[in-house]
Homo-oligomer: A and B are copies of this chain.
Amino acid sequence: MNVEQAMDKLKSEGYKYTDKRFDMLTLFSDEGRYLAAKDVLESLQVKYDGMSFDTIYRNLSVFTDLGILEATELDGEKRFRFSCDTNDHHHHLICLECGKTKHIHHCPMEAAVSEQGFQVTGHKFEVYGYCEQCQ
Contact = CB atoms under 8 A, between A and B. Distances in A.
A124 B96 CA distance: 13
B93 A115 contact: yes
Given A73-B76, A124-B126, A127-B123, A93 B118 contact: yes
B118 A108 contact: no
A106 interface: yes
A30 to B, nearest CB: 22
Sorting the interface of chain A by its residue count into under 10, 10 to 19, 20 to 34 or 35 or more gives: 20 to 34
A75 to B, nearest CB: 8
Contacts of A76: 73, 76, 78
Nearest to A127: B123
Contact of A125 (B93, B125, B135): B125
The 8 closest A-B pairs by CB, nearest first: A108-B108, A117-B132, A120-B129, A123-B127, A106-B112, A121-B129, A122-B128, A119-B130
Interface of A: 73, 75-76, 78, 91, 93, 95-96, 102, 104, 106, 108-109, 111-113, 115, 117-132, 135
Given A108-B108, A108-B111, A111-B111, 20 more contacts: A73-B73, A73-B75, A73-B76, A76-B76, A76-B78, A91-B112, A93-B115, A93-B118, A102-B118, A106-B108, A106-B111, A108-B112, A119-B130, A120-B129, A121-B128, A121-B129, A121-B130, A122-B129, A124-B125, A124-B128
